[in-house]
Structure 1
Amino acid sequence: MWKRSLLDVKVKRGADVGSDHHSTTADIKLKLRANGKNTRSWKQFDIEKLKESNVRKEYTTLIRNRFRILENLNDEDDTETTDDKWGEISEIFTKCAEESIGFKQKQKHKDWITPRTWDNIIIRRETKKKLNEAKSQRLKERYQLEHSQIHRNVNRMVRNDKRANMDSLAEKAEEAANKGEKGNLYKITKIICGKNTASSNIHVKDKLGNLLTSENEQEQRWTEHFSELLNRPTPTELPIIAENNNELEISIEPPEMNEIIPAIKSIRNGKSPGNDNLNAELFKLEPVIDWIMRQTTANTPRDIRWGTFTTLENLDFADDLAFI
């Protein structure tokens, strides 16, 4: 930034920042380099709502109804490719998730502050405005005394709200630990410890354990560490690895039902969605498994069929499906 980049400066005397200093704004002229557009502009679904029974039931009903419509369309059209079928399936998941689950909403900063505290913050802001606009010394002294009292009350209420929020987070962490929910426990622990953002303040020590404070010493220590780690001497004896002449039996046939169902159930929860913006939790519900079973057993040569009403026509082969 150069001296000529500063175009104008203004003092905001009415800003309520809880300090004796006034906020300032400045108009700065900068030349920025374009970094390209962000290709990912979609919103993520609020998967946490699937834990609610009414939302999960609504989503399940929508998925089941739309799959029945899709089955009727597939019976009429046999020229669809795999990509066309996946396009229809992903569209069904997306529309059902939009109607029943919805997207994640942007959370407010410091949402643990109660409405009563926010009302007092607004009163403090209005008192600060009156103090700045007062002309006589008598009014300034009165508003200053009033502002100081309200400011102490706001600080006390904010401390109480933060303490109550910490107690609530501790109870949620204890509950998550009892239920074995390690993901939620890790997130809550990060919030309590105040480690929501990555920190660049990394302590670097030398070989003797002394803390290095200057940047040059830290850079030299990093250089020394990686030089010793990567520059290894050539081994004197090379390992003898025998060639394996046995051919592996790898099936190139389409996946079977006993491979598809465990693959779907083994997908880990709590992961970011891919390019289709569909989370793993959306696929692991009962209607999805039911639809896959009906599709994979509809035309089997052993006369097995998973019907619309979830019945097996050949009960002698039911033991083979017990893993489901």
Structure 2
Amino acid sequence: MSNSNLSYFNSPALDMKIVMGDLNANVCSDNLGFEKAMGKHGCGSMNENGKRLMEFCSSNDLIVGGTIFPHKDIHKKTWYSPNGRDRNQIDHLMVNGTWRRSLQDVRVMRGADAASGHHLVMAIIKVNLRRTGKKKNMLQPRFNVERLREQKKERKFWITEETWQAIDRRKEVKKQVVTARSDRLKEKYKTKYQEANKGVQKKARANQRAFIDNLANQAEESAKKGEQGKVFQLTKLISGKYRGNASAPIEDIQGKLLTTEAEPDVRWAEHFNEILNRPPPTTQADIQEAEADLEINLEPPTRQEILAAIKSLKTGKAPGLDNLNAELFKEDPDLAAQLLLPLFSLIWEGKKVPDDWSEGIIVKIQFQRRDL
């Protein structure tokens, strides 16, 4: 049994389960014997894979979304052959019967420029969740500091303007293919679209190679200058973000797999208790007295010192318990320094650091090993 099957059967019974993909299964409009697995709005005639799909859906309480909603055939058939004559509904999206009412619509989006013989399939799902009540001692909501940054179009920045123009031209040809009335015009525009698609892919590959070469040269120059931070940023930009599995299984000290929701939290508490709460050292440290006393400024902090400290803050860091990011202070350093000066002066005169400043948050970062 594959990992996908194991994930499906091991998931909680009340969760919404969605199965979708190119299944190469034709389903028809006759749902006799499979009333719970499909509707009456399928296309074509059922093949062997379609029968297997219906048996799988019937035994696992799934329903094929593309057969429920009435649409024109052009909005239900998901695949067309290279010659343009054969069209079938072989890409499907299924949802478990418990969440059938949450599925609002399923239809084909023919206008999407996907450069494929398959059309995109869009599903509209509306989920109404029940409120569980307000939790006590909840942390303050985080500020969306991304809004402070310059808003840019979500385009791949390594693609040149010339390539984007070629992509726009390809989209126009795609529209001509979809709206063509006669088979002769459709074949003509398909040939034109294939040529435009080849040109776009060739330009995009050239842009990507030039972009990677440029980053490699920058990283090499930064390594020669000893700028390790910039080397790390460039390496992260090339390799992309790592998306680890935050809910990976955890084992206890004896190697037993923890399965319930409460057991991993208890194991994490034991793990940090073993690491952080160690006995004091048996031998005292031998600290030599300084040869000369350092000159320390004992005057209260000034506005200029606070302003300099704000400007030196690093962005992109996680906030503390107050959920105040460095970006919020650096957005208007003068105003932030003006607001912080009375607070720092009061703390300086009172000679007591607030208790909140001595607290921290422990973030668990799990690697490939499951045992702690």
TM-score in terms of structure 2 length: 0.43
Larger relative contact order (C-alpha < 8 A, sep ≥ 6)? 1
TM-score in terms of structure 1 length: 0.48
- Structure 1 or 2: more strand by fraction: 2
- Structure 1 or 2: more helix by fraction: 1
